[in-house]
Amino acid sequence: MTTTTTTADRPIRVTVWGEDRHEKVNPRVREIYPEGMHTAIADGVRALLGDAVTVTTRVLDDHEHGMTEETLAATDVLLWWGHTAHDEVADEVVDRIQRHVLEGMGILVLHSGHHSKIFRRLMGTTCSLRWRNDGSDRELVWTVSPRHPIAEGVPQPLVIPGQEMYGEFFDVPDPDELVFISSFTGGEVFRSGITYRRGYGRVFYFSPGDEVYPVYHHPGVQRVLANGVRWAAPTRERESYLVTPMYLPGEFDRPYLTDDEGRLIDYRTRELVERGDGA
């Protein structure tokens, strides 16, 4: 069982995951993000949230893609940016991330992460959309839920001078909350800020962030991500997510598991239960 103290007792532990491939092969991206996109994203979160967070980064080429059990157990909110190497992420790592989300870890999926294995796993759909990236588009991010915590302090509209166009139809389930809608120079619109609950975890998808534009240096975008971290952070101890525990007659608030020998295991502690009736 995974347990953590709550974020009310300590800083929010943030891990920013980046693919880190464009920065190595594209001089334009390297010029915009000399230390990597993941570093720029992390720096923005640190600058706005200060001592309320601790922020680390991981990249695709790290051992187990940086998503080890130890790292995830020590992460309250994971930010995920990927694009060209979705298929290189091992399925067992996706399983592990999904389990931690279900147990209460928050996750922010950014831009082209809509096609990542983990986002498609959490959504259960193709997560496909229409797009254009010829340098002609300005994006206006319109807040449609002004009282939502993620929208706090975000300009209305948030103007991004240059950005890849993402347009509808976006093949995702109906979101729990629609926070932002974007419009583009070509007339397209897109649900650019949407939230979900998966198990005990919170999910926020935010679409601006193509690698050839300095989007993650934009103060308004940094504000959205910082707000997203605070919103997605768990407010209670993380616990195993299991939808079918067993209950004994009259014990309505004490879930059990059974081992291979049929003995009772406490659902929360995973310890063998010794019962006075000889069971």
Q: What is the CATH number of the domain that holds 24?
A: 3.40.50.880
Same domain, 131 and 247: no
Tracing tokens 């998966």 back to the chain, one arrives at 198
Domain that holds residue 225: 12-232
Q: What is the pLDDT of residue 2?
A: 46
Same domain, 165 and 252: no
Same domain, 266 and 128: no
Question: Residue 53, Cβ neighbours under 10 Å: how many?
Answer: 21
Same domain, 132 and 260: no
Q: What is the pLDDT of residue 252?
A: 87
Same domain, 198 and 108: yes
Would 6 be classed as within a structural domain?
Answer: no
- Averaged pLDDT in 10-residue chunks for the chain of 279 residues: 60 97 93 96 98 97 95 97 95 96 97 98 98 95 98 97 97 98 97 97 97 97 98 89 81 86 85 71
Would 206 be classed as within a structural domain?
Answer: yes
Q: Are 154 and 223 in contact (CB under 8 A)?
A: yes
- Which residues share a beta bridge with 58? 17
Same domain, 177 and 220: yes
Q: What is the pLDDT of residue 21?
A: 92
Would 205 be classed as within a structural domain?
Answer: yes
> SS3 of 57, please?
strand
Residue 270 corresponds to which tokens in the numbers above? 């995973």
Would 4 be classed as within a structural domain?
Answer: no
Q: What is the pLDDT of residue 269?
A: 80
Q: What is the pLDDT of residue 240?
A: 76
H/E stretch holding 223 = helix 219-232
How many independent structural domains does the chain possess? 2
Q: What is the pLDDT of residue 144?
A: 98
Q: What is the pLDDT of residue 276?
A: 62
Name every residue whose Cβ is closer than 8 Å to that of residue 50 and which is 6 or more positions away in sequence: none
Name every residue whose Cβ is closer than 8 Å to that of residue 67 and which is 6 or more positions away in sequence: 17, 58, 93, 96, 97
